[in-house]
Structure formats: structure tokens, C-alpha cells
Amino acid sequence: MLLEEENDEILLNEIIEEVKELIKEVNNLELETLLNEEYDRYNAILEIHAGAGGTEACDWANMLLRMYMRWCESNKYKYEIISLQEGEEAGIKSAYLFIKGKNIYGYLKSEKGIHRLVRLSPFDTAKRRHTSFASVDLTPDIEKDINIDIKEQDLKIDVYRSGGAGGQSVNTTDSAVRITHLPTGIVVTCQNERSQVKNKEIAMKILKSKLYQLEQEKINKSITDLKQGNMNIEFGSQIRSYIMHPYSLVKDHRTNYETSNVLKVLDGDINQFIEAYLHNNSKT
């Protein structure tokens, strides 16, 4: 072989990199075979909401937002913050992230649920350990026209000024829109556009997608089952725990997959959890 004859270290490194790329491509193809549910191929709107706990929970929600943005960047997916509500002292109360890319909903459905953080609080002068919760929800950006009958009297529409710090074109005019669907309690917001009309249009699209998804779920579940599936943002309902003290561990409670590298995960390295979730679901 050429490699044996030349003992070329550069050539060896090139071959190693090519093998790594081939393994990555094979893994991606294998994962795509697991993405066979109705919404998997769509773009998605990812929501993050801070749980009870004030500043601690808001800071944790902001850490999750950064984690998903870093995941998008490392995987070359496009994203846009379409709504952001800041916390009173730090972090965020909520955020809506529109993510575009192949099979986005299919990959990120593993993130839907309650995320729990355990750490020494940077906001506690006594440096005590705190537990914080935040919820992550996901809605497919359904491309086709959705035939959902939404009555005007069922909507509560609020217009307000964005509380965000700006960033990716988040505006600071009185054009942000919050729509509450009274029969279901679903709330959606949009503040990215400077036009109130455009923000309302985007918010209505998200609402229609949520209602369409709810109607599809009703085919296989009763209303009681759906309500039981809406978890409170509190202890015992988490899908994943991120423990930074007294030891380092991120553990997914559905698959039992875990890693000790918490900082790497919080920097966007969540593909390992996504893969474990998809493989686990394929066995059920």
C-alpha cells in the first residue's frame, strides 16, 4: 500500500478524516430511516419557558436558549428568534426560536419536555445549591394550508412593546403580538417583525400549526389523556437533568443515556441525546 511504502503522516491524517466523515454520513443516513413520523421532515418552532423560581429559572431558560442556538450553528441550521421575553433581573422568561433545516422537527422532538438544572447558584451570596426547571415545546412549521376554523371571539389579542434587548432584529416598538386561544389556553407570541400585521400573521400561523397538531393527536387520544400529558414545570416531571454540583452529569430519564461533560452539552452538543432518543423510540 502507498501508506506503508511512504509512511506519510499527512496522507494518514487525510484518510482518518475521510473515514470519520464516512462514519458520520452512515450514522446520519441511519438516523434518517428513523424519522418516519408525520411531522419529522418539517421546520420547527421551538419554545422555551422558565419554570417557577424567579431569577434562577430565567437564567436556566437562557442557558437552554444558548444551547439550542449553538446546536443550530454547529449543525449549520438557520434559526431566528421570533419572540423573546426577558427576566426581571437576568435571563429570559420565554423565547420562540424558528429553526429551518432538513428534518428539524424529527431531530428536536427529543427535546420536548421539562429540563432540570442542579448547580451552585451564581445569584445566591451563600453559594447554596439550587434546582431550576424550564420547559421546551416544539411545533412543526406545517407548510401546507391548514383548514382550522378559528373564531374571532375565541382569540384574545394583545399588542405590546418588546422587552427584549434587540439582537437578531427583535424590535422595540409597540408591534409585538400575543395571541391567546381561549378554548385551549394556547398562547403564542411574535415580536421579530416591525410590522404589527406581520407579527400577527406569524403568530396566527404558529397557532394554526399548534391547533392542527392537537387535532391530529385527538385521533388517537382522548381529551383526558392530552391533559394528563401536559406536565407541570416542576420536580418529578423532567425528561432530562443537568447536574453541575456536587458532580457533573447530564442524564436523559427516558433513554438513560448520560454523559459527564455538562459544559459540552450546554455548548450545543446534544446530538448524542437526539440519537439515543430516536433509537430508543424505534424499539417501542
* Cα angle: 45, vertex 43, 270; to 5 degrees: 75
251 membership: H or E segment, kind and range = strand 249-252
Q: Which residues partner with 187 through β-bridges?
A: 180
What's the pLDDT score for residue 83? Answer: 94
pLDDT in the model for residue 125 = 83
Of the listed ranges 180-194, 230-244, 247-261, the least confidently predicted one is 230-244
The proportion of the chain whose per-residue pLDDT surpasses 90, expressed as a percent, equals 59
CA distance 236 to 114: 9
When mean pLDDT is compared across 7-11, 41-45, 47-51, 195-199, the lowest value belongs to 7-11
Inter-residue contact 150 to 214 (CB < 8 Å) = no
* Average pLDDT estimate for 246-254: 96
pLDDT value of residue 223: 39
Averaged confidence pLDDT in the chain: 85
CB 169 within 8 A of CB 155: no
Q: Name the most confidently modeled range: 25-29, 41-45, 221-225.
A: 41-45
Q: What is the mean pLDDT of residues 178-197?
A: 92
User: Is pLDDT above 90 for 192?
Assistant: no
pLDDT of 6 strictly over 80: no
Give me the mean pLDDT over the 50-62 stretch: 93
Q: How confident is the model at residue 213 (pLDDT cuts 50, 70, 90)?
A: confident
pLDDT at residue 73 above 90? yes
* The model's pTM: 0.80
DSSP label at residue 278: H
- The one-letter amino acid code at 135 reads S
**CB contact at 8 A, 135 and 230:** no
**How many CA atoms lie within 13 Å of 130's alpha carbon, on the beta-carbon side?**
20
| Percent of the chain clearing pLDDT 70 (strictly above) | 85
What is the enclosing helix (H) or strand (E) of 94? Answer: strand 92-100
Reply yes or no on whether the pLDDT at 8 is more than 90. no
Structure confidence at residue 222 (pLDDT): 45
- 49-53, 105-109, 194-198, 219-223, range with greatest mean pLDDT: 105-109
